[in-house]
Amino acid sequence: MGRLPGFDYKRPFFYMVTLKRAAACGPEAPQFSRLEPGGVLADTPLTPALRAVVEHFHETWWCIEPIRHYVIMPDHLHMIVKMRAVEGRVSLAVVVRQLLKALEKATADNEALQNRVLQGALRPPVFAPDWHDWIVKKEGQLAAFKHYIAENGPRAWLRRENRRFFTKAREIVFQGRRCRTYGNEALLDLPVIVAIKGHRAPKDARSAPGKTGFSAGALRLAASRIGPGGAGLSTFLSPLEKEAGNEIAKAGGALIVLSVQGFADRWHPSEKQERLCAAGRMLYLSPYAPRAAKLTRKEMFTRAHALVDWAREHSHHQVEAWPGPAQPPQAAAFQLAQCYADAEAQLAAARSRS
C-alpha cells in the first residue's frame, strides 16, 4: 500500500497501522489468534510471541510511544502507533519495516510454522510486505480508531456467524431522513468515510480561477488509500466513481453505495455485490422509495449529485473529480497532505490555548 505523497511521516501524529498475513502462507497456515464465540480472541502458539514484540517494540525504537492499543486477529494486526516529537526520529515506514522484521523473527522458531516448510525450501514470510496506514488527524478520530480496534473481534464474529444478517433490507434514520439499507450498517460508524463524486465531463465553472478539483489519476490515488477501517461513500454510477470503487475494494476498504433508485424488501444486488454485503464490506443506502417507472438519465444524475451532497456531511473527507484538465495527481495529493498540515497546526494552537 503506497503512502500518502507529500506527507512527512516523521510528524508526531497517531497512525493506525494494519499488518496482514502473507497470502503465500495459505488458508491452513497457523493463525495469529483464534476467534471464539462472542468475538473473544484466544491465544494460539503464535499469539504470545507477537504480543511480546508489539508491547516491547518501543524499548528498541525510542522514536515511538508504547503501543497500547492493538488487536491480534487470526490473519492480521491493527495497532495505533504514535511518533514521538524527538530529534533524529525516523519515518513511519522505517518503524513498520523494523516491526515486521521483529515479528518475523519472533515466529521463526515456532514449531507449527516449521512443520509447514517443505524439505530443502526456505521458510515463507509470515507477514505480507505491504501494509496500510491511516493518519489520525481530526478531533474524535483517535477515539473512533480505538473503538474500531476494540470491536474488531466481535464484528468479525458477527460477520462469520450471521452472514445472512447483512443480506436483508432494513430501515434506519440517517442524516434526519428515513432510509432503507441493505448490507452492513456498522460501516456508517467507521473511523474514516470518504465522500466521492466523479463527474461525467468537465464544465467551465469547475475550471474557473480558484475552483480546483481532482483529476482522474488523483481520484484513483485517493481511493487506493481507503483501506481497512475506512469506506468510500458514493453512488458509484459514473465511470470515475466505478474506478474509485474498484481501487477501494482492492485496498481492503468498504463501500457505502447511495442508491438513486431505491429498493424494496425483496431486492437483492448482483452476485458479486451480494458477496461483499455478506462479508460486511458493502452497504446500500437510499432515502428514496422504489417506483415502478425507471428513472430518466437526467433524474438519475440529478439524484446522484443531490445524494452525495446530502450524505457527505456524515463523511470525513470529500474527493470530487472529472475527466480532462484538472490538478495532476501530485498536486491533488499535495492538497490532501496540506489538509493534514493544517489540522496539525490547529491542534497545536488549541494545545497552546489550554
Region of poorest pLDDT, from 55-69, 189-203, 238-252? 189-203
| Residue type, position 4, single letter | L
| Amino acid at position 213, single letter | G
Regarding predicted confidence, which is higher, 42 or 313?
A: 42
Q: What is the pLDDT at residue 95?
A: 95
Coil, strand or helix at 1: coil
Closest by alpha carbon to 258, among 200, 184, 220, 308? Answer: 308
Q: Which fold has domain 14-147?
A: Alpha-Beta Plaits (3.30.70)
CA distances (Å), 334 to each of 5, 78, 205, in order?
A: 7, 27, 23
Alpha carbon distance 64, 240 (integer Å): 39
Q: Which pLDDT band, with edges at 50, 70 and 90, does 211 fall under? A: very low
Helix axes 141-150, 152-161, angle to 10 degrees: 50
**pLDDT on residue 65:** 94
pLDDT of residue 236: 92
What pLDDT score was predicted for residue 202? 47
Q: State how far the alpha carbon of 29 is from the alpha carbons of 19, 49, 127, 257, 269, in Å.
A: 16, 16, 12, 34, 33
Q: pLDDT tens for residues 41-83?
A: 999 999 999 999 999 999 999 899 999 999 999 999 999 999 9
In sequence order, the β-bridge partners of residue 71 are 78
Taking a C-beta distance cutoff of 8 angstroms, is the pair 69, 149 a contact?
yes
Question: Where in the chain do CATH 3.30.70.1290 domains reside?
Answer: 14-147
* Percent over 70 (pLDDT), the chain: 77
What SS3 class is residue 119?
A: coil
Digit-coded pLDDT (tens) for 144-157: 899 999 999 998 88
- In Å, what is the CA distance from 350 to each residue of 12, 82, 137, 343? 16, 19, 13, 11
276: helix, strand or coil: helix
